[in-house]
Amino acid sequence: MRNRLQLGASLRLLLILSLAALASSAPAKADLTVFLEEPYSLDGELAGTGHTAVYLSNVCASSPTVLRRCEAGETGVVLSRYHRVDGYDWLAIPLLPYLYAVERPEDIPLIADAKIETAMRDAYRRKYLEEIVPDGPEGGVPGGDWYELLGSAFDRTLYGFQFATTLDQDDAFITAYNARPNHMAYKLVTSNCADFVRDAVNFYYPKAATRSFFADLDVATPKHVAKSVVSYAHHHPNVSFSAFVIPQIPGSIKRSTPVHGVVDSVFKAKKYEIPLLVFHPIVGGSFAVAYVVSGRFNPAQNAMMFSPDGAFERPLTKEQRRTYAKALEELLHSQADPAAAKRNFLPWRELQARASFAADVAGHPALSIAADNDMALPLAGSSDTLGAQPAVVFVGLTRQNILQSTAPSTVTRDLLVIRLRQELSKGTSPHTSEREFRADLALLETLISTQSQTIAATAPVAGAER
């Protein structure tokens, strides 16, 4: 009897341990998120419809074209329909590479320009995507639309609309999409990126994502797909739903513009609407009515701020932005270094033109800058310029390595100030949360404090012989 009891207890313990192991190896939750991505470049100047993709937190990929269930520690993939990427209809890219062209949250750059963006995208391509995106002539960066696979947040702000899913739904999705032909199917009007996302959403929540006859003339657009899933969530309060903003990385890359549908792209663009009203008032008036009836949608309304660590936080309020903007300018004014201004060091934006992308010894993104005789560029922690000997200094681009930069503190300070001011700037969407902003401000305060200590240590003692 005792042996049977001991055996039963052992089996129960084994069962509990097995269940615990399974629980620890599976994601804590599963979600589907519709990404609404603002337009930029030529799209921003013309139609302005932007892009859309779907992110699945519990679906990962054995390759960009083969889906599987995620394992512990993995964060899922982003899927989207593309026009000209090696003949495929859709490709799956892990979340962080899709947003920032990095594998680790600590490698997300604080600031970016076109040079940094191109280099980081190409570094990831060479490591993981050469099979579908081979090198260009003489081993260079290839042309084509492959860049859309990586670093979306370099170019634009994204909005996320998130629904809870089940593991069974995810498994069914994986089976279905792995079995389907994956050949290029893109057509602007009938089979675009919004149609792909609409089909994926409706796989989980039938009829949640729709087209709009009035707002988009029955053409699927990213804006209306997002609007329709938000409307679905409002009409189904039992469905777990949240909305968030992924801000564009600060820097010199042109800011993206608000996303439009078919009708409101005409109605909101004076260069289109005014001629229509003058020469075709009935048509122009019809566009205006269609916009008022079904075209309005603010994707940033009540949205939280996305953080790469998985947290959602409230964005800065207008009052907080004003308060922090005043405090920032007071900090910069109080710590101004007149002597540094007289030395005429090249500012950050000019140095970028001479810099090249090069990861530091820990693999974090950084820039190397070659100083020549024409540059007034001091070594970090020194009040002396480099003189006649050329030198190379590096600028860390992340929170992990910016304070270890060997470039002068004036350069790194400029970088941080550009980021902080863009985070506090006005816009149609929020740019940061209080936690993120305070983390960036703390970096600047540490940098200024270190700079002040260096100046004090190198300053001549009053009365000392010269």
Q: 251-309: per-residue pLDDT in tens?
A: 999 999 998 865 565 555 544 444 444 444 544 444 444 444 445 789 999 999 999 88
30, pLDDT greater than 70 = yes
Reading the block at residue 446, the tokens are 């540490």
Q: Note whether 54 and 35 are within 8 A (CB).
A: yes
Q: Note whether 212 and 261 are within 8 A (CB).
A: yes
Within 10 angstroms of residue 113's Cβ, the number of other Cβ atoms is 19
Phi-psi region of 128 (alpha: psi -120 to 50; beta: other; left: phi over 0): alpha
Helix (H, G, I), strand (E, B) or coil at 200: helix
- Given the DSSP bridges, would you call strands 158-164 and 312-313 parallel, antiparallel or unpaired? unpaired
pLDDT score of 273 = 45
pLDDT score of 336 = 61
1-10, 125-134, 198-207 — which is least confidently predicted?
Answer: 1-10
Alpha helices for 298-424 (secondary structure H) = 318-334, 338-342, 348-354, 409-424
Residue written as token pair 């209080």: 434
Average pLDDT for 133-147 = 92
Instruction: Tell me, rounded to whole angstroms, the distance of Cα 237 from its chain centroid.
Output: 29
Range among 134-148, 212-226, 442-456 with highest mean pLDDT value: 134-148
Max CA distance (Å), the chain: 97
pLDDT score of 454 = 55
Q: Is residue 432 very low, low, confident or very high in pLDDT (cuts 50, 70, 90)?
A: very high
Range among 211-225, 270-284, 401-415 with highest mean pLDDT value: 401-415
Provide the terminal-to-terminal Cα distance of the chain, rounded to the nearest Å: 97
The pTM assigned to this predicted structure is 0.83
Name the helix (H) or strand (E) containing 136: none
pLDDT score of 42 = 66
Cα–Cα dist 38/159, whole Å? 8
Alpha helices for 26-88 (secondary structure H) = 41-45
Q: Note whether 223 and 36 are within 8 A (CB).
A: yes
247, pLDDT greater than 60 = yes
Sign of CA dihedral 130, 132, 135, 141: negative
User: 123, 62, 135, 116: which is closest to 94 by C-alpha?
Assistant: 62
Each residue's pLDDT tens digit, 414-425: 899 999 999 999
What single-letter amino acid sits at 416?
L
Cα–Cα dist 257/39, whole Å? 6
Cα–Cα dist 207/191, whole Å? 17
Helix (H, G, I), strand (E, B) or coil at 355: strand
Each residue's pLDDT tens digit, 71-92: 999 999 999 998 889 999 999 9
Alpha carbon distances (Å) from 173 to 36, 169, 204, 267: 21, 6, 8, 38
Q: Is residue 8 very low, low, confident or very high in pLDDT (cuts 50, 70, 90)?
A: low
What is the DSSP annotation of 228-261?
Answer: HHHHHHHH-TTS-EEEEEEPPPPBSSPPP-----
pLDDT score of 45 = 54
CA angle 443, 158, 306 (to 5 degrees): 45
pLDDT score of 83 = 82
For the chain, percent of residues with pLDDT exceeding 90: 57
Reading the block at residue 402, the tokens are 């910016």
pLDDT score of 9 = 52
137-141, 198-202, 213-217, 327-331 — which is least confidently predicted?
Answer: 213-217
pLDDT score of 34 = 97
pLDDT score of 437 = 96
Question: For 289-320, b where at least 16 C-beta lie within 10 A, e where not — what string?
Answer: ebbeebbebebbeebbbbbbeeebeebbeeee
Each residue's pLDDT tens digit, 37-57: 999 976 545 567 899 999 999
